[in-house]
Structures are given as structure tokens and as C-alpha cells.
Structure 1
Amino acid sequence: MGLEDLPQIHIGEVTLIGTGGGYGESSVIHIGNNEWVVIDSCIDPNTRTCLPLDYLLALGVDVKTQVKVIICTHWHDDHILGMSSLLGACESAKFYFARSTDKDKFLLLLSLDVAKADDGVWSSSTTEFFNCVKLIAERNEIPLRASQDRLLYKTEANGVSNEVWALSPSDYTLDKFDQEISKLIDVIKHRNKKFINESPNSKSVVIYIKINDHRILLGADLEISRDNKEGWDNILENCLSIDRKASLFKVPHHGSENGYHTKIWSSLLIDNPVSKITPWNRNQKLPQKSMLQKYAGHSSNLYLTTSVLTLGSKAKKREKSIEKLILEKNPSLQEIKYKHGIIRSRIDCLKNDVIWQVELFGAAVQIDQSYIDKMA
């Protein structure tokens, strides 16, 4: 089937769009009956277009009415860029994220940081997020809070029932965030300071989806915590909405070691699920060989949106004048190559004894032992 093949109403779909070079990731999910959920957003850095929106439009989805939920798992650049374009097009979608329980104080923090744009001291992710909140306000709605064991969406029709649950962050994590907000507001009032969220991954929203008897676990960037009241340990010990093991897994945090927990694989996932990873190529390269070996050992099939074997390939040679300018102004500057791949998985939700059918597009690759052996 081609990329533009629209699924039938009884076919579930989980499509992971990822960009080599750390430009972002997004999951696009068909939960049946022409209803769609989009988790996070990413862009083509050359055209600045929103990749999940491009994908939905290519399928022929009526994004104004058929995209029901948009979730921002956390507001790192690689998860939110293009989100305001997506939300603007999806006029009937509810917008969820892990916001502070004190909504007014949280919005004040956002507005203070965005005001730094006039001074040239600002965060693109904060501005993108502020634009989303502004869009929601123009619709006379409010941004909704995703938190542990919260049901975000539920429908049933034509023999297909679905539920979309948030498994994190915990109340404990959000309470800590409330306390951080006041400190951040004091810091950001200083002219040369900007909003630096020191631990955004602890607030990352893990999503658990039920479509008839099939289960999907999307790990966002949630990490292991030293405190079992948050992170993966809290999900494993305290979540009440998990009723069976998932057969498809979006591996958390680019396949990093700090997103790995053996009990995720033994308690939350079936033996040998389909697993997907979006690599990272800024600073430390992820996933590393040892972790990719672990994930491959746990999975029936393991996929990357882009190959880690090519992410570090040599950048094209620059003109001498440009090279000299870079060395003078910013010697640590590196060119990050852009590629993007799509891993699309579909399943017949009316049948129980079926497996996910996976298609790869663009730079996406399937991982086997020979691939891992080639890694440094």
C-alpha cells in the first residue's frame, strides 16, 4: 500500500514520524471510525511545514472535524515545533498537556517568557506553546491537563470502541511543578533570563490506548526516576487504567538508557511486541549500540525512523569564507543533517488473533543483528 492509503473505519493505525538530527517526532493514531489522535509535532526544517499535518492531509483526512485529540507530551523543541499550525488546522480537537494545576500562574509564566522575544532572549518551544494556548482561548476553550489515569477520549461505534488514557505525570510530579512555577516567575522577570525547565522529561505524558482488545503504549520521553512517586516506577506501581499488555510500543526518550526499565517489558508489554524508536543526533547520539541490542532482544520487530548508521555522516564541505566565519563566531557549531522517516503500523480491530502490519517510508529502517553489528 502507498503512503496516501486511508485506513478503513475498523483499522487501527499508529504512525511514528521521526526526523534524523533531532528535529522532532510525532505519533499519528487512527482509533477507528475516522477519528484521529496526534501526539506531539515536528517540522521539516527546510520548509518549516508541520509533518504530522502533512501526513494527515496526504491521507485525505478532514482535519477540521476528524482529529479529535492533540497531545503535547512535553514542550521540548523536538516534540512541539509546528504544533500551533497543527492545532490551527484541527479546529475541533481538544488540546492536552501536562500543565500546572495553577492554570493562571502557568499562563503568566508563558506570557513573561514570550515577552522576551522583543529582547531576542526567547525559546522557540515556549513561543510555539504560547501560540497554541492563544488559539485555544480564541475558541473560548481552555487547554486541558493530562495526568495519571486520566481518560482523554472515548467513543464506540460500528463495532469499534476506543479509549485514550494518560499514564503520567503523577499528582506528585505536578505538585512539584506548581512549586517550580513560582520560582521560575521570579527568575524570568530579570531581563536577561529566560524560562529553563530543568526536568521536563519527568512531566512527559505517556499515552495508553485501547482499541477493542488491542493495546498501544507510547512512552514519550519519560525517564526512570529516583522517586517511585514519579516516572516509570509510578506507572508500574500505581496506574489503575492499565487492563492488559500492549502489543505496540513507542520506546521512550530515543531509546536512551534512562528510559529503560525491565519491568516495562515484563509487566506492560506482551512478549516480543512491535517497537519503534526515533533517534537523536545532538550531543550524545541515541540509541547507543548496547541499548539497541537490548530493545531488539525484547521485540518481535524493531524499527528506527532514521538510521543511526548515517546520522553521523560527514557534512558537505562549506566555502572557506563561511568556514572561517563559523570558526570565529561559533566554533562548536555543527551541521545536523535532516532526514525523516515514517513507521506505519495497522491492525484489524475487529479481530483478536492478528498482528500489526508494518510499512516503512522515507528513511525508516528495520533493525536486525547485522545492523547492530555495524554500529560503533
Structure 2
Amino acid sequence: MSNFPTDPPEPDVFEVSLFGPGKGESIVVHLGARRWIVVDSCRDQRTGEVAALRYLQGIGVDLATEVLTVVATHAHDDHFAGIADVVEKCTEATVVTSQALFNREFLALVEIDHQIAGVTSTSAYREYRRIFSIVEQRKNAITGKRPHRRAEEGKVLLGLPSSGAAPAVTVTALSPSEHAVTRAQTVLAKEQLVALGERTRRPTYDPNEASIALWLRAGGVNVLLGADILSGPLGCGWGAVLHSFTPESPATLYKVAHHGSSTSHHEGIWEKLLDDRPVVLLAPFRHGNVNLPKDTDVDYFLGYTDEAWTTSPRQPTSSGSFQKQAAKLGTLARNPRDPYGVVGHLRARIPLVGGTWQVANFAPASRLAVPRGRSAR
């Protein structure tokens, strides 16, 4: 795994750290006064270590008491790998999952030893089972209350008073929309019938529609975390966010949605939610022949800001014949300098009173570069 820094932020500093790609992407945020949240999870493909846990332990964070919230934005492996390990270690944290994936049909499916086909992958399904089991074990013996919250548009997930040099904090869910929740419930009800043996057409659903985008506000700092939210469909995604949410002041940092894919581009984000020339952090996605962001996506972001960063630079995709030969050789074919599977780290820090973001990149993370032979628009 890449070497992560070991210097913790000062109590009056806001930090956003993004890890990826490895297997997944993950974000840790320092809200001031040793108060942290973790959003999604990422494993190093070579060591199996969970990036967020390794980093937080390395800078001396007490996982049991200083991580206040763990957010599982949606049920895709590239955001979910290792999330139950994070929940297990952060024993006092409230766990947040999407309202769109928490109803009686979904809970019934989780209890069925069967893949939730078309709704989530097998491994993400197992992570859900572990999360719900952990939450159940931590319920209050007197009240029965569980440390679990369900996110939906406009819901404040975390509100903290000022503490010493750190101002008050709010973490607000921007999605899923009410319509996205309804769409998910309809699909889950049909999927339950399929899982129970009913002969009906298997439904299809994109878990990105259930994704939890977040707005973080602390003192003079606003941050937008885009998860894997898409531009639509109608009544969902960025269209719904822009219809329902108007910030008091724009965000100066944006964790790019959906690995920079064009399916998440929306001009309204830049017009309504973001400051001029914001800091942009991006974790790429690589699986088979899918390699995000594309060259045109890189052009898109560099057209808006010169402060765009990626946790790993894009490399040319190997030919099919080369990949087959490499698969036969297994670990013998690995180049120790090859960034594939290695988790890169971007760390952005800013005083909570406001100011300028200072971005540090730790290999293989780097600035988002204009594709060779092309120029940004």
C-alpha cells in the first residue's frame, strides 16, 4: 500500500482525504476538534488493507471515540468494499445508509441467503448483512435505539456544536430524492417476489439512484461530496438536488460524482453549488475495459478549474492478449511501480475560518492532467 502521511490536522483545520482506486473509493473528513466522519470504503487490492482505517490509525485517531459517523453511500462494490470493517472498528459511530435501501422488502431480502440480483452485488449484500448485525448488537438495552440513520434529501445527518477552536458543524444529505426512494421500493418489492420463487420478470435498478450526496458545512467552509449521484433520471440525481437545495454560500471543494463520468455531469452544479474555480478531487474507476474518467471528462473538469486532482493518473488500457498472459503469470507479472491496485491519497486542508485549500498528493495521486496531445477547453 502507498505510504500515507502521519501528521494529523490541527483542531481548527478542516480536512478532506480521498483514497482510491484500489478496490473502491473512500473519504475521511476532519470537522475540527478531533471530530471525524468516514464516507464509503476502499481496500488496497494488493494488501487487502482498508485505506481509511490505516490512515486514521497512522495519524493517531481513536477510532472508537473520534469517528462520529460512517456513511455507506450506496450498494456498489467500488464504494462498499470493507465498509463493515470500518463500522466494526468505529464502535461509537452512527451508521448512515440510504433511505432508498432500507424498507421491509430490502430487509427481507437481506435475510434471504440469495444474491439481490439487479439491486446490489453479492459482496455488497454481505457487507449490508454485517453492518445490520453490528448495529443490532449495539442497540441500547433500555430504549432499543440503534446507532443507525437513513439518509434522504434535506435530512441533517450530523449536527455538532462549536468546540474550542472548531465552529458548529452540519452534515446534510442532498439525496436520494423522495422519487428515488419510491422507485427503489417498487423494484425491491418485485425483487422480493423473485427471490421467494414467484414467477415474475426480474426488475432492474441502478444503485446509483439511491446514492447519498452530502453537503458539509463547518464555520466558513462548505464541501460537496458527490458519491455516485447521476444527472438523472427525472426526479432523481442532480436534477432533484438542484430543485430542492440552495446553499447559503457555495462549496469551495467538490469530490467528483461517479468517478468523473459524463453520466454525472450537470451544469447546474457549477452554477448553483460551487464557487468559481473550486478544488476538485476525483477517484478513477477501472474494471475490465471501463476506464473513468475518459479524456473528454478530464477536459470537462479542467474547463472549470485548474485545481483538479486524481488519486491515480490514468494509464493506457492493456490489450486483451496482454491481460490474458498477465493473468496466467499472476503475481509474477506485477510491476511494483504500476499504480493499478495501489491506493492513492489526496489530502486537502483549510482553516475552519476560511481561506485557501492546501492540497497534498501522495503517490500515485497527482494533478488531473490534460490528455497528451489535447488541450483543455
AA of the residue aligned to 1:127 = R
Contact 1:292–1:372 under 8 Å retained in 2: no
Cα gap change, 1:56/1:292 in structure 2, threshold over 3 Å: closer, same or farther?
same
Task: Tell me the alpha carbon deviations over residues 89-116 of structure 1, each in whole angstroms, 9 at most, x when there is no partner.
Answer: 000100011134863332111111x456
SS in 1 for 2:298: helix
Query: TM-score normalized by structure 2?
Result: 0.86
The separation in 1 between residues aligned to 2:364 and 2:329, in whole angstroms, is 32
Aligned with residue 264 of structure 1, among 249, 269, 272: 269
- 1:12: how far off? 0.3
Alignment correspondent of 1:84 = 84
AA of the residue aligned to 2:359 = V
Cα gap change, 1:64/1:262 in structure 2, threshold over 3 Å: closer, same or farther?
same
Aligned with residue 253 of structure 1, among 255, 258, 264: 258
The separation in 2 between residues aligned to 1:343 and 1:87, in whole angstroms, is 23
Alignment correspondent of 1:300 = 306
Alignment correspondent of 2:43 = 43
SS in 2 for 1:359: strand
Contact 1:63–1:91 under 8 Å retained in 2: yes
- 1:192: how far off? 12
Contact 2:348–2:359 under 8 Å retained in 1: yes
Cα gap change, 1:373/1:176 in structure 2, threshold over 3 Å: closer, same or farther?
same
Alignment correspondent of 2:242 = 236
Contact 2:313–2:368 under 8 Å retained in 1: no
- 1:338: how far off? 1.1
- 1:65: how far off? 0.4
Alignment correspondent of 1:365 = 366
Cα gap change, 1:196/1:347 in structure 2, threshold over 3 Å: closer, same or farther?
farther
AA of the residue aligned to 1:266 = E
The separation in 1 between residues aligned to 2:363 and 2:199, in whole angstroms, is 42
Alignment correspondent of 1:208 = 215
- 1:247: how far off? 0.3
Confirm or deny that 1:12 pairs with 2:19.
Answer: no
- 1:367: how far off? 2.2
Cα gap change, 1:151/1:370 in structure 2, threshold over 3 Å: closer, same or farther?
same
- 1:190: how far off? 3.7
SS in 1 for 2:43: coil
Task: Tell me the alpha carbon deviations over residues 61-89 of structure 1, each in whole angstroms, 9 at most, x when there is no partner.
Answer: 00000000110110100111111111000
The separation in 1 between residues aligned to 2:106 and 2:361, in whole angstroms, is 40
AA of the residue aligned to 2:279 = V
Cα gap change, 1:116/1:234 in structure 2, threshold over 3 Å: closer, same or farther?
closer
Contact 1:293–1:372 under 8 Å retained in 2: no
AA of the residue aligned to 1:345 = A
Alignment correspondent of 2:293 = 287
Unaligned runs of 5+ in 2: 140-145, 331-338
The separation in 2 between residues aligned to 1:237 and 1:372, in whole angstroms, is 39
- 1:154: how far off? 1.3
Point out the more displaced range, 206-215 or 100-109: 100-109
The separation in 1 between residues aligned to 2:362 and 2:10, in whole angstroms, is 20
Q: How does 1:1-376 map to 2 (within 5 A)?
A: 3-19=5-21, 23-100=23-100, 103-112=103-112, 114-115=113-114, 123-140=122-139, 141=146, 143-155=148-160, 156-159=162-165, 160-190=167-197, 198-227=205-234, 229-239=235-245, 242-282=247-287, 283-309=289-315, 312=318, 315=323, 317-318=325-326, 337-350=340-353, 352=354, 354-369=355-370, 373=374
Contact 1:99–1:106 under 8 Å retained in 2: no
User: Equivalent pairs: percent with the same residue?
Assistant: 28
AA of the residue aligned to 2:60 = G
The separation in 2 between residues aligned to 1:207 and 1:36, in whole angstroms, is 15
Alignment correspondent of 1:326 = none
- 1:204: how far off? 0.6
Query: TM-score normalized by structure 1?
Result: 0.86
Contact 1:80–1:129 under 8 Å retained in 2: no
SS in 1 for 2:302: helix
Contact 1:289–1:372 under 8 Å retained in 2: no
AA of the residue aligned to 1:151 = V
SS in 1 for 2:215: strand
Q: CA RMSD in A?
A: 2.8
SS in 1 for 2:303: helix
Contact 2:149–2:157 under 8 Å retained in 1: no
The separation in 2 between residues aligned to 1:197 and 1:111, in whole angstroms, is 20
Cα gap change, 1:320/1:108 in structure 2, threshold over 3 Å: closer, same or farther?
closer
SS in 2 for 1:126: helix
- 1:233: how far off? 0.8
- 1:28: how far off? 0.5
Contact 1:281–1:312 under 8 Å retained in 2: no
- 1:340: how far off? 1.5
SS in 2 for 1:309: coil
SS in 1 for 2:18: strand
The separation in 2 between residues aligned to 1:272 and 1:320, in whole angstroms, is 46
SS in 2 for 1:265: helix
